[in-house]
Amino acid sequence: MRAWLLERPAEVALSGQTRGPLVLRDVQTPQPGPGEVRLRVDACGVCHTDLHTAEGDLDLPRLPIIPGHQVVGTVDAVGEGVTDVSAGMRVGAYWLRKACGVCPACLRGEENLCEQAEFNGLHRHGGYAEWMTVPAAYTVPIPDRMESHAAAPLLCAGVIGYRSLRLADFQPGRRVALFGFGASAHLVLQLALRQEAEVFVFTRGASHRRLALELGARWAGMPGDDAPSLADSAVTFAPAGSVVPQALRAVRPGGTVAINAVHMTDIPAMPYTLLYGERTLRSVANLTAQDAREFIALADRLDIRAEFTTYPFATANEALRDMKASQLDGAAVLDVRHD
């Protein structure tokens, strides 16, 4: 099968580069092990975590590795012991590949914090390939009315955004501020609006501000601008620590800021007054299988739709480059099936 391999991390250059960090190879088609299913991949979303992987910002437990963890495909082979997923089903795979199930974190229902957790596209080969294998228990059925390419960004950008909004102590009908407006934030905006929230968006990109307003944001401005009022909650999506003080400044006393980032630059020194007033600052780490099931069902019921740009399978490096340059409104999706 064809697959994109990261053989060694390298910077995704914005200009003057003839090739990117990923290389297209012919590799052996995987076979599902016990408890696993094999997916014939239709589409794979391109995530900022893939960019951090390609550039070596994350600790890489193995090389070479096939990136990709927002995967929609059709089950075409089933491993021993699998009973709940069958051949012919269309399912999604997401960032969390599996957790141990027996550690204190897992027993608390916090498998996202399991120290033995494995992640697709990091510990095991992911979806920048024509086939991939994944534990059946860590798949989610894709509703019939969701087209595969439109569903792919929901599996990480959407699910982690859903978790972030919850950890920001979001309440329906309240105000929420979003810092950065890419693949995850534009889905969070829709989720908040469906719950009658008032949404303020802070983002540098003029096209991103236009999209936010078109999707229903009450206000959109630059980071550092003053929104019409203080928010009850905020979620930061930009991987820049400098955004955190701005977000704290944008929420009321007693408000919560959730940081949606697997990697970010250092948070700068800031006055204690930004945190004072019982404001809460918390990180968001990974996701759970339950998060995935809940959000996909919610997205189907509330008709939450991803804005996305489709890239032919042969142009994975170009998708990473455009993401890094913030040239995308919404998400990027690799078209694996129809290249």
Lowest mean pLDDT among 12-26, 73-87, 118-132, 234-248: 12-26
Work out how many domains the chain is built from and give that number.
2
Nearest to 87 by CA among 101, 99, 77: 77
Whether residue 144 is predicted with pLDDT greater than 80 in this model: the reply is: yes
pLDDT at 17 over 70: no
| Average pLDDT value for residue range 34-55 | 96
Percent of the chain with pLDDT over 90: 92
Domain boundary among 257, 284, 311: 284
The phi-psi region of residue 113 (left if phi > 0; otherwise alpha if psi is between -120 and 50; otherwise beta) is alpha
Q: Which of 247, 263, 284 is the last residue of a domain?
A: 284
Answer yes or no: do 145 and 234 share one domain.
Answer: no
Please tell me whether residues 208 and 232 are part of one structural domain. yes
Residue-wise pLDDT for 313-334, tens only, equals: 999 999 999 999 888 888 999 9
**Both 217 and 293 in a single domain?**
no
Determine the residue type at 36. Answer: E
**Residues 118 and 20 grouped into a single domain:** yes
d(CA 292, CA 31): 25
Q: Are residues 108 and 64 in the same domain?
A: yes
* CATH classification of the domain holding 107: 3.90.180.10
Tens digits of per-residue pLDDT, 191-220? Answer: 999 999 999 999 999 999 999 999 999 999
Length of the chain: 339
Asked whether the whole model's pTM tops 0.85, one would answer yes
Q: Write out pLDDT tens, residues 170-194.
A: 999 999 999 999 899 999 999 999 9
Range of the domain at 68: 2-156+287-335
**8 A C-beta contact, residue 196 and residue 190:** no
- The type of residue at 95 is W
Final residue of a domain: which of 268, 284, 300?
284
Please check whether residues 167 and 273 belong to one and the same domain. yes
User: What is the predicted pLDDT for the residue at 330?
Assistant: 87
Which CATH number do you get for residue 249?
A: 3.40.50.720
pLDDT score, position 16:
58
pLDDT at 338: 58
What was the pLDDT predicted at 163? 97
What is the separation of C-alpha 326 from the centre of its chain, rounded to a whole number of angstroms?
16
